[in-house]
Structure 1
């Protein structure tokens, strides 16, 4: 009797974590996927035709934007390096050459064809002047990166030949702000070093960008011009002129105890009154004589003191000055006061019509003042006073700086906006005026003609 072959069958083993078989898990996963698909289809059916059109437009716009980005990157990488050396005159010659050749061939004018051929040969000859690669190692060095207005700043460039072959003559250019310093670089042999020194005039307060140093090669006609940058730009700060004030800094309230307030505290310097002892009070502040007289413990109570804060305000509105020189003098006065406050280790804030300037160190303050410019669209003197009152309400001394258009009536109005506990001094710069100090209520109005009058004015402020 023949037996049928036995067939090996395997039953799904139960999963040790869930207790279900693998087959049931597979069916469950398949079911979940089917449910997700049905849910997506239901959501798709519920969407309105307008939503579908909008999503399709958004998708097409993203594709177009991606294509435009790729095209722009290709233009910058491939096309721009090829057309960048062409000058304005070169473009004119190129267009004229193409137009002459096309018109000559279409009209059969040999003269135009000859002109086109001549232009093409001229362009090919210009290309020969800029092909090749110069290898330099250039160092840009400024003797000082910070100078006072009126001083001469010196710069030096040192050019090393980094090629194993002789280098053709070239032109070296160093942009200095809006100006341009140009040097002729002769033919250099391997290992040669060429050095040039240049002077930078500093007739006005500003921040100049010196560099980057670039080498320029071009043809004699001026059709093509190829330039390569070799260094990073360096900033030159032209600081405003300042004067040295007395070490004691009269008028700046250099007090060690600070400014007393109406807030009461259990430990400070300014004594206020006595009160009954409460559990937890520091026994060091018990007033024993009063305690013996009253028969119960009495402790001292103090008025809280705060460190003196000097707030310097500068109006940058063109309407607050009668002459641009007044604006420069006002900046010099503010810089002189700020430098002295930093030396005296006072808490200093500097506010202009445009914003707050960094004043943690004297160098940072002068650097920031070098870049201060007019703000014709910003607020004027009264708005500057309101900004200081809002942002620096705890200032103990406030000094405002403006020009000849500020009159006593405007000073009185500004005083009503400032904190009542602050001492206010207003500096107005009038071109050619003699220094004078005029009290307007509790405000000291100082008129100056130049920054050299500031030490005398500050001595007068100290006597008030």
Structure 2
């Protein structure tokens, strides 16, 4: 029953009681009129709908991109079906699609664009047919179709893998990507002083007029290890914290995808338990964005994890994840560690120092002023490359600045 129907019932009761008590036929007639209207409304919404609703599959989209939801409605009754609407509850925003008067076996298609697509795995539906009488007094709702899933992926910005490592600082921009190996040819590049002459490709050098060196990568070894901090306490409260966390997920997706697209093995771990890929090897990023679409800030994961062992001595969640990865996979030795966290994290530098076999970068989202610098935690130890990120659109420029910042730094 709608609000108008509720008022009609109330007025019918009040006017009927007043007219009977005061013996005013006019009030009784008004009450009877409201009662007749309600009876007619009940007949209008009664009976079978005869509707068949099907919802088209929705392809995954990127956060912030619009998506169109399409519903096909068919009337299986002989008589025309009055106009109404179909609702799809749930999702980033509920979908309400108007349906015109339907003739038998004449399907009608209705669509609506969702512009506020927030990252996540959303369930739209099941579809509900809403049927109202012409006066809008009564409403009948009936579920008609199966729910559909809308997957909204994190955003990705275009990045290039960093070309430096702790044990190999370049004198030029042409050095091989991190973790050069002997297993698989990658590309030819110009010779840089100090390169192994055995890797010079003389035929290509003769064509180009300059020495060309072959670079190789070992697909079994990780070039990048991305650690995403999903602890709620690492990010500010309110909308600012939500935006910082969304940017952190975008950064993790962008960095991991940058290496995978170059056929370099990358690992992604999160303090909330996400581990991608689940197995070692391969350069296929299928499932990465689906996994990140479902990531949520976790209130249950505190700065200190575990109940025994190193955790009992105060090992923080980020450090614990780095140590576990180092113990569990020797193939990640020498990989670039990228810690993605918020301004509230207190253990990002400790996690960077725990990654002793390779270079480390700390990316902190939610900064008021974007910056890239070498920073020492509490003035101790080796400097750690840090990126203070105000929004994810600033990441490509800061990433380039990070490569320039580490140029010629000591190993």
Matched, 1:384 2:320: no
Q: Residues 124 and 253 (structure 1 numbering): CA distance in 2 closer, same or farther, change over 3 Å?
A: same
- Cα deviation for residue 225 of structure 1 reads 1.7
Matched, 1:330 2:245: no
Paired residues of 2:227 and 2:339 also in contact (CA < 8 A):
yes
Tell me, in whole angstroms, the C-alpha distance in 1 between the residues paired with 2:68 and 2:48: 30
- Cα deviation for residue 248 of structure 1 reads 7.4
Paired residues of 1:161 and 1:189 also in contact (CA < 8 A):
yes
Paired residues of 1:172 and 1:214 also in contact (CA < 8 A):
yes
The total of aligned residue pairs comes to: 326
Paired residues of 1:332 and 1:451 also in contact (CA < 8 A):
no
Matches within 5 A, 1:179-194: 179-194=93-108
Q: Residues 462 and 365 (structure 1 numbering): CA distance in 2 closer, same or farther, change over 3 Å?
A: farther
2:374 to 397, 422, 438: 438
**What is the root-mean-square deviation in Å for CA atoms of aligned residues?**
3.8
Paired residues of 2:372 and 2:402 also in contact (CA < 8 A):
no
Tell me, in whole angstroms, the C-alpha distance in 1 between the residues paired with 2:300 and 2:110: 43
Tell me, in whole angstroms, the C-alpha distance in 2 between the residues paired with 1:411 and 1:353: 12
Q: Residues 451 and 234 (structure 1 numbering): CA distance in 2 closer, same or farther, change over 3 Å?
A: farther
- Cα deviation for residue 371 of structure 1 reads 3.1
Q: 3-state SS of the aligned residue for 1:362?
A: coil
Gaps in structure 1 of 5+ consecutive residues: 1-85, 259-305
Report the structure, 1 or 2, having the larger helix content.
Answer: 1
Q: 3-state SS of the aligned residue for 1:238?
A: strand
2:179 to 254, 272, 287: 254
Q: Residues 341 and 214 (structure 1 numbering): CA distance in 2 closer, same or farther, change over 3 Å?
A: same
User: In the alignment, which residue of structure 2 is the partner of 1:124?
Assistant: 39
User: In the alignment, which residue of structure 2 is the partner of 1:400?
Assistant: 339
Paired residues of 1:313 and 1:384 also in contact (CA < 8 A):
no
The TM-score normalised by the length of structure 2 is 0.65
- Cα deviation for residue 436 of structure 1 reads 1.4
Q: Residues 415 and 94 (structure 1 numbering): CA distance in 2 closer, same or farther, change over 3 Å?
A: same
- Cα deviation for residue 187 of structure 1 reads 2.0
2:271 to 339, 349, 353: 353
| Residue-by-residue CA offset, 1:113-154 (whole Å, 9 max, x unaligned) | 777755543432221111122223333235x52222232222
User: In the alignment, which residue of structure 2 is the partner of 1:364?
Assistant: 287
Tell me, in whole angstroms, the C-alpha distance in 1 between the residues paired with 2:298 and 2:128: 34
- Cα deviation for residue 457 of structure 1 reads 4.3
Q: 3-state SS of the aligned residue for 2:316?
A: helix
Q: Residues 435 and 124 (structure 1 numbering): CA distance in 2 closer, same or farther, change over 3 Å?
A: same
User: In the alignment, which residue of structure 2 is the partner of 1:375?
Assistant: 298
Q: Residues 368 and 250 (structure 1 numbering): CA distance in 2 closer, same or farther, change over 3 Å?
A: farther
Q: Residues 349 and 222 (structure 1 numbering): CA distance in 2 closer, same or farther, change over 3 Å?
A: farther
Tell me, in whole angstroms, the C-alpha distance in 2 between the residues paired with 1:454 and 1:100: 73
Tell me, in whole angstroms, the C-alpha distance in 2 between the residues paired with 1:362 and 1:92: 58
Paired residues of 2:162 and 2:403 also in contact (CA < 8 A):
no
Paired residues of 1:249 and 1:340 also in contact (CA < 8 A):
no
Tell me, in whole angstroms, the C-alpha distance in 2 between the residues paired with 1:113 and 1:378: 66
User: In the alignment, which residue of structure 1 is the partner of 2:88?
Assistant: 174
User: In the alignment, which residue of structure 2 is the partner of 1:451?
Assistant: 395
Q: Residues 412 and 132 (structure 1 numbering): CA distance in 2 closer, same or farther, change over 3 Å?
A: closer
- Cα deviation for residue 330 of structure 1 reads 2.0
The TM-score normalised by the length of structure 1 is 0.58
More deviation in 340-349 or 165-174?
Answer: 340-349
Q: Considering Cα pairs closer than 8 Å and 6+ residues apart, tell me whether 1 or 2 has the greater RCO.
A: 2
